[in-house]
Structure 1
Amino acid sequence: MFTSPKYYFNRELSWLKFNQRVLLESMDTTNPLMERLRFLAIAGANLDEFFMIRVAGLRHQAMNGIVKYDAAHMDAKAQLKAIDESVQRLVSMQYTYLHTVLEELESYGFYFTTPDALDVETKTWLRHYFEEQVYPVVTPLAVDSGHPFPFLANHTMNAIVRIFQVQSDGTKEYKIAILPIPSVLDRIIEVPTKHNKEHCFVYLEDVITYYATQFFQGYGIEEYMIFRITRDADLEIDEAEATDLLTEVEASLRRRRRGDAVRIEVAGMGAKDLLGIVLRSVELEEKDVYRIDGHLDCRMYFDFSNYPGYDDLRYKPFEPKPPSELIGCEEDSILDIIRKRDIFVHHPFESFNVVEQFVAQAAIDPNVLAIKQTLYRVSGDSPIISALIKAADNGKQVTVLMEVKARFDEENNIIMARRLEKAGCHVIYGLKGLKTHSKITMVVRREEDGIRRYVHLATGNYNGKTARIYTDCGIFTCNDEYGADASRFFNLISGYSDPPIWNKFIVAPLNLRERIMALIEEEIEAAKCGEEGYIIAKMNSLLDKRVIAKLYEASSHGVKIDLIVRGICTLRPGIPGVSDHITVRSIVGRFLEHHRLFYFRNRGNDKIFLSSADWMPRNLNERVELMIPIEDKRHKARIKCILDLYLADTLKAHVMRADGSYKRPSDEEGPLSAQEELMEAANTQEIKEHMTVIERFKPMFKMKE
């Protein structure tokens, strides 16, 4: 009944709308100027990954004649055509915004120019810089019968140059060469100025092409073109045939570096003949070309946005605060506090250090017998890795499931896994056919009254760096039912075991989808009985067709559904009789919205959950995920308040229309940013035990009963 393609948006086009929302932050003048530049860099990095994974996959389908329709009834060819049209508009918007931001930077003394526009004295300095810093690094590559077109790695920038030499009869002999733009050198070069308050910059590729004749003594330069290639970077792992998953992942990583080209970006219009040479060499067509009105690869502005001495052009520094529930308990061990009560932590507003301390204290506690943990993405200098190694050194049983198939973190995770193994930890390199995406740590401790299990469950990765910029939350508990489930969970993923009967855990791919459907059905049944059915669901992406159809069914029976979906959302709101009781909003702000939180009214007996899983087929079918109920009344009230706060956001929210476009919500009741309010609450914490965010937010907006 709710499966018609007209009820669904295409996944890829929905994601591109998300990236457009990221771009719009670069035009939001409430954001500091350098942060606006950073959003342009984020949008560029996002688009790179989109081509490396999503577009590459669709190209494979189209090239192999695979006809597979999505929920919106679009096959690969139709999607690629629509993506191209959307990306061309998006890139045009990106560079229009970039030029605006760079122009605004001029009022603060930041000027971008070209080598030929510099005065004589500065050109002399630049010539010396080129000879000392650039020339020794660049290696020109001839292209002729004896030198085939070189392999150009993913995301490397290059200049293709047509050079000539005048023959004795006055004619010109032409040759082709490639000048790589080295990624090991700074893309943005600051040159001296005569004014202390001015900063002048040139781009590395402009310097290389300006002095290009130095690489070709005896030749002149006819023309050149700057271009950048994006390649397929998805891993192809044959898990069915793999006898050693780690070895198979490492082999796939080597193949990734030589993936097929999927996109070429060209600075300006590009010389037609030179472009043709590149296209033939990388087996792309004119339709795969994106002509850029500016310098390629906005990712270079990540570093530039940190230019020292201009803190007023960046967000005010925010230091995560100690969890409010631990105030006054600084001298107690984390385990002792958890034994008294469950603890809820909300990052990045509250510090991730408490999670690192949890593992670190367990590592040196003589009564701790074992530590078990899943790791999906972890930083290279992770205190958690160090603590696990120390725990093994101290003779504790340490078991770690290190997911070596975590996209773009595979190499780092393999390195970390080998460090752990070398220290004596038992390391599981993921599960065949599944990614383990759940976030769980269990500490087993011998105490006077027997063995007690301490458990941390969360929505985000055990990564201290991303925990400062992603919104996530987690709970600590030593509740026996959660502890028993944690033991069963680790036994399930580390050995051979039939799926157990769970006390509290809801686990994908075993029963998570079924439980979600059942929770929605409970709201439908309430609505059928004349009671209020209400769902709030906050996640990163929503595109599982079966779950969406169930939400449509709920809406058709009058269940009110508020969705907070940061990125992809293929559900179409506002369809009369189908989804007119559903709202969809996306929050794009200073921090990346990452936690998954779910509220079901349940006839007045609120059910609230946190989860590692989005409502996507891959999360529900192909990953090991966890969803857990929140049962502490304080924590339920706090999470409900956080959700209500996001629903009240008028500054960083975008509300989806029925046609898939987004608009800013009305701010009739005054401007409100959920993230800003959460930062303010953290900054002004009262020294009061058990204080919760809800106490501070109640006066700010009408709480939903």
Structure 2
Amino acid sequence: MKLFKSADLIRKSKYISRDLSWLRFNYRVLDQAKDPSRTLFDRLRFMSITCSNLDEFFMIRLGSLYNYIDYGKERIDYSGLREMPFRRKLLDFAHRFVNDQSLTYLNELKPQFEKNGFNILRMDELTELELKKADGYFKNTLFPLLTPMVYDSYHGFPLMMNQMLILGVVTRTEAEGEKGQERLTFVQIPQNLSRFFELTRKDKVIFVPIEEIVRANLPKLFRNVDIESANLFRITRNGDFTLEESDDIDVDFIKEIQVGLKTRKKGRVVRLEVEKDASPVLMAVLKERWKIDNGNVFVINSMIDMKGLLQILKHPNFRGKAARQPAPVAPLSLPEGAEDNMFEYLKHHDVLLHHPYNSIDPVVRLLERAAEDPHVLGIKQTIYRLADDSRVTAALLKAAENGKHVSVLFEVKARFDEERNIREGARLEKAGCFVIYGVSKYKTHTKMLMIIRKEGEKVTRYVHLGSGNYNEQTSRIYTDVSLLTTNDVYGHDVSEFFNVITGHSQPDDYEYLITAPKDMRQQLIHLIREEIRNAKKGLPSGIVMKMNSLEDKEMIDEFYKASKAGVPIRFIVRGICCLRPGRAGLSDNIEVRSIVGDYLEHSRMFYFHHGGQPKVYAGSADLMVRSFDRRIEALFLIVNPALKREAINILYFNLKDNQNTYLMREDGAYVRRIPAPDEPVFNVHKEFYHRHYAAVSESSLYDEWLTRADVQTDNAASNEGPPLTAPDFPTDAEMEDAEMEAELATFNSTTEEDLPGGESPQDV
């Protein structure tokens, strides 16, 4: 009875599971790969992204869950499930996704390869001449890099690297006319080579997976033995390591990071991908060795690790075949020619940049000029992620070489960029820059730059604040907003902020900044409650927010209170959303949408109607527990009236989109928004290239959107498409019913041997 009562509580939960919400986000990315209106090459790009996303999900999110399971710590998900039931639920969702992913590849993408000028072929599909070339590649390039690693009573189980393709080879030797003992050997496919060997067949390009070339040539590695089977597999290890940081200023952050990186390379296996019909001998060894069950095993019917598809897009024959990105346009607030003398222009004007529609070049060039300018005294900057061969690093090195004071906070805890940031920080330190490798207990995620320049008898602070990284590469595909200004208030706030993160200063208040972990959550709640008070008084009220993720329970509860008070709320959330919109009596006035398309929506913007005098913030923070409590973040108030109108227009255009938008239903599922019959097509990823002052001045979030009733998340709404996921993809309620059945079955029949890590049935 207790279990069924638990199922009822789960159905009534006010919150959506963070991890299940993330998996639904990856479905929206997969939906782009299914879109027949896109070119095949565009669809392959999205398919590779779904694979990359899923890799990170298993490494970090499932890895984090296993940290709780393996160490016996309690973790109750937003859905209400404890560790082991939630693990099963997550893996069930993931299996459904991978099956859909494989079917999309096999049935929708692969049949189009030939007519688009290429194909992916096995060795037995090659001509005799092509086989000769492939065998030559094996002999000259692959063979010297291969190291067979046998596993038997004389040889220990080899360490296998995370996400590396591996062939598990079962062999047998003849012994006096009888079959000898089976032996298992592992052959790791080189990671430092291209995934495909390329051939030309008439007017087509043939891509041969290098693992197939190795498989066909295994007799050259295993001489005078019988090869019974050779199966390809790939493992994903737990990549979620937690640093035990202290307040001791002598703690060596870099050594801690480096230790963590080593654990990532040999952490617990959380996923095994293997091709179908794999050898029972191989599977028995792998499952026993890594203490995994069938839930962790993903039988792949298509292609293991589809990230390799990006090689096709980079081939000279197909460059430009994916969706072409238009050239950036000039910012509305930066007239043509003004960039030639940015120092002079910024003394009198603020500039709002909206990337990638506006290039990041004005920021990078300003930094490069500052490095050479004899009047510049110093540069201070926070760095989270950088591009390869970064112009930002080069400019900072040049500034130090020219005798300027350069202070840089390099966040060495930026996931998957730790090694790069340690390396780049060391280069700057060697050049004489003052480098801080993160702040104890917190991850510095904020994006800030300040250039201090002596101008006559005064010093002017040139400030850049943004939502995106100082990365010239990702700025071309991530949507972000940033501000360039010499306004003294921003300058004072940013100076105080740098004193906080480089020293021990604790300022009372900022005027234009809201920061975490200081009091960001409290200040945002205060702004929400102002809207509640206005709504209760019958005054205009409204909230529009754009972010990557919405997960913090305290914030969600405040939004529910605002909805009950009659405040219209519109969220544009790209990924995780733990809030349930449209639930009667709880969130009737809340709408959630997600935009997934040509660009990755990365900007964070927060609009409060504020009695008709809107307050608009932008910055680095999502509404997540980690952003408020475990990160150093900053939101900046946009005070310039013209720039505020631009920011409002950005939100307005996002709400108006009907080509890349998915509407979230109360049960957590998403449906694609389809234009009404009389509604003009509006693609937000194209319209920003044609934006003009007239459009900006005409935008009004309150009049046009906060009072609208025709954009609903009801499944019968005329502007919704069919449900996004496959017909057999269950709703939350169906999953909960199945989960409770599984719990009962597990409770009645599970033995310790069935559970990874040796958990007992009562721990489920």
TM range (shorter): over 0.9
Q: Tell me the amino acid that sits aligned with residue 115 of structure 1.
A: M
SS of residue paired to 1:166:
strand
Select which of 482, 486, 491 maps to 1:483.
Answer: 491
Q: Tell me the amino acid that sits aligned with residue 520 of structure 2.
A: L
How do residues 432-451 of structure 1 correspond to structure 2 at under 5 angstroms? 432-451=440-459
Select which of 667, 670, 680 maps to 2:680.
Answer: 670
Partner of 2:304: 296
Equivalent residues of 1:540, 1:614 under 8 A apart: yes
Partner of 1:211: 217
How do residues 54-453 of structure 1 correspond to structure 2 at under 5 angstroms? 54-99=61-106, 100-193=108-201, 196-240=202-246, 243-311=251-319, 313-330=321-338, 332-453=340-461
Deviations 1:187-225 (A, max 9, x none): 2222342xx222222211112111211101101211122
Partner of 1:582: 590
Deviation of 1:660 after TM superposition, in Å, equals 0.8
Deviation of 1:449 after TM superposition, in Å, equals 4.5
Select which of 649, 654, 657 maps to 1:649.
Answer: 657
Equivalent residues of 1:641, 1:703 under 8 A apart: no
Select which of 525, 532, 536 maps to 2:540.
Answer: 532
The 1:436–1:168 alpha-carbon spacing in structure 2 relative to 1, beyond 3 Å, is same
Deviates more, 1:259-268 or 1:235-244: 235-244
* Distance in 2, Cα, partners of 1:521 & 1:314: 46
TM-score normalised to structure 2 length: 0.88
* Distance in 2, Cα, partners of 1:19 & 1:10: 15
Report sequence identity in percent: 37
Select which of 443, 459, 462 maps to 2:467.
Answer: 459
Deviation of 1:500 after TM superposition, in Å, equals 3.1
Deviates more, 1:10-19 or 1:394-403: 394-403
Q: Tell me the amino acid that sits aligned with residue 240 of structure 2.
A: D
* Distance in 1, Cα, partners of 2:445 & 2:694: 29
* Distance in 2, Cα, partners of 1:32 & 1:7: 40
* Distance in 2, Cα, partners of 1:25 & 1:392: 45
SS of residue paired to 2:500:
helix
Equivalent residues of 1:5, 1:72 under 8 A apart: no
Deviation of 1:65 after TM superposition, in Å, equals 2.3
Deviation of 1:130 after TM superposition, in Å, equals 1.9
Equivalent residues of 1:638, 1:693 under 8 A apart: no
How do residues 20-35 of structure 1 correspond to structure 2 at under 5 angstroms? 20-35=27-42
* Distance in 2, Cα, partners of 1:438 & 1:127: 52
* Distance in 1, Cα, partners of 2:465 & 2:132: 60
The 1:120–1:451 alpha-carbon spacing in structure 2 relative to 1, beyond 3 Å, is closer
Deviations 1:597-620 (A, max 9, x none): 111111111111102100000001
SS of residue paired to 1:39:
helix
Equivalent residues of 1:95, 1:294 under 8 A apart: yes
Deviations 1:473-514 (A, max 9, x none): 111111111111111111111112223321221110111101
Select which of 17, 36, 55 maps to 1:10.
Answer: 17
Deviation of 1:428 after TM superposition, in Å, equals 0.8
Equivalent residues of 2:330, 2:358 under 8 A apart: yes
Deviates more, 1:393-402 or 1:614-623: 393-402
1:508 aligns to 2:510 (yes or no): no
The 1:509–1:144 alpha-carbon spacing in structure 2 relative to 1, beyond 3 Å, is same
Select which of 592, 605, 622 maps to 2:613.
Answer: 605
Partner of 2:575: 567
* Distance in 2, Cα, partners of 1:644 & 1:317: 22
Equivalent residues of 1:600, 1:608 under 8 A apart: yes
SS of residue paired to 2:144:
coil
Deviation of 1:45 after TM superposition, in Å, equals 0.5
Partner of 2:719: none
Equivalent residues of 2:328, 2:359 under 8 A apart: yes
Deviation of 1:306 after TM superposition, in Å, equals 2.2
The 1:178–1:696 alpha-carbon spacing in structure 2 relative to 1, beyond 3 Å, is farther
* Distance in 1, Cα, partners of 2:81 & 2:695: 45
What is the number of equivalent residue pairs in this alignment?
692
Deviations 1:169-201 (A, max 9, x none): 3434432211111112222222342xx222222
1:630 aligns to 2:646 (yes or no): no
* Distance in 2, Cα, partners of 1:173 & 1:235: 40
Deviation of 1:704 after TM superposition, in Å, equals 6.7
Equivalent residues of 1:380, 1:416 under 8 A apart: no
The 1:81–1:4 alpha-carbon spacing in structure 2 relative to 1, beyond 3 Å, is closer
Equivalent residues of 1:32, 1:312 under 8 A apart: no
Q: Tell me the amino acid that sits aligned with residue 678 of structure 1.
A: F
Partner of 2:743: none
Deviations 1:84-131 (A, max 9, x none): 110000001111111221211222232222111223332223222222
Deviations 1:53-82 (A, max 9, x none): 110110121222222223332222222111
The 1:673–1:197 alpha-carbon spacing in structure 2 relative to 1, beyond 3 Å, is same
How do residues 517-556 of structure 1 correspond to structure 2 at under 5 angstroms? 517-556=525-564
Q: Tell me the amino acid that sits aligned with residue 374 of structure 2.
A: P
* Distance in 1, Cα, partners of 2:311 & 2:461: 44
Equivalent residues of 1:159, 1:225 under 8 A apart: yes
Equivalent residues of 1:325, 1:692 under 8 A apart: no
The 1:126–1:311 alpha-carbon spacing in structure 2 relative to 1, beyond 3 Å, is closer
* Distance in 1, Cα, partners of 2:189 & 2:461: 55
Q: Tell me the amino acid that sits aligned with residue 201 of structure 1.
A: F
* Distance in 2, Cα, partners of 1:257 & 1:444: 42
* Distance in 1, Cα, partners of 2:622 & 2:505: 26
* Distance in 1, Cα, partners of 2:683 & 2:699: 12
Unaligned runs of at least 5 residues, structure 2: 1-8, 708-764
SS of residue paired to 1:324:
coil
Deviation of 1:696 after TM superposition, in Å, equals 9.1
Equivalent residues of 2:231, 2:275 under 8 A apart: yes
Q: Tell me the amino acid that sits aligned with residue 490 of structure 1.
A: F
The 1:192–1:316 alpha-carbon spacing in structure 2 relative to 1, beyond 3 Å, is closer
Equivalent residues of 2:275, 2:299 under 8 A apart: yes
Q: Tell me the amino acid that sits aligned with residue 670 of structure 1.
A: P
* Distance in 2, Cα, partners of 1:72 & 1:223: 43
Q: Tell me the amino acid that sits aligned with residue 337 of structure 2.
A: C
The 1:40–1:677 alpha-carbon spacing in structure 2 relative to 1, beyond 3 Å, is same
The 1:77–1:190 alpha-carbon spacing in structure 2 relative to 1, beyond 3 Å, is same
Partner of 2:761: none
Deviation of 1:330 after TM superposition, in Å, equals 4.1
* Distance in 1, Cα, partners of 2:61 & 2:682: 35
Q: Tell me the amino acid that sits aligned with residue 571 of structure 1.
A: L
Partner of 2:503: 495
Select which of 588, 594, 600 maps to 2:602.
Answer: 594
* Distance in 1, Cα, partners of 2:313 & 2:382: 34
Deviation of 1:236 after TM superposition, in Å, equals 3.0
Equivalent residues of 1:597, 1:608 under 8 A apart: yes
TM-score normalised to structure 1 length: 0.95
* Distance in 1, Cα, partners of 2:42 & 2:375: 47
* Distance in 1, Cα, partners of 2:119 & 2:161: 31
Partner of 2:696: 694
Deviations 1:585-638 (A, max 9, x none): 000011100000111111111111102100000001111110111111111111
Deviation of 1:364 after TM superposition, in Å, equals 1.6
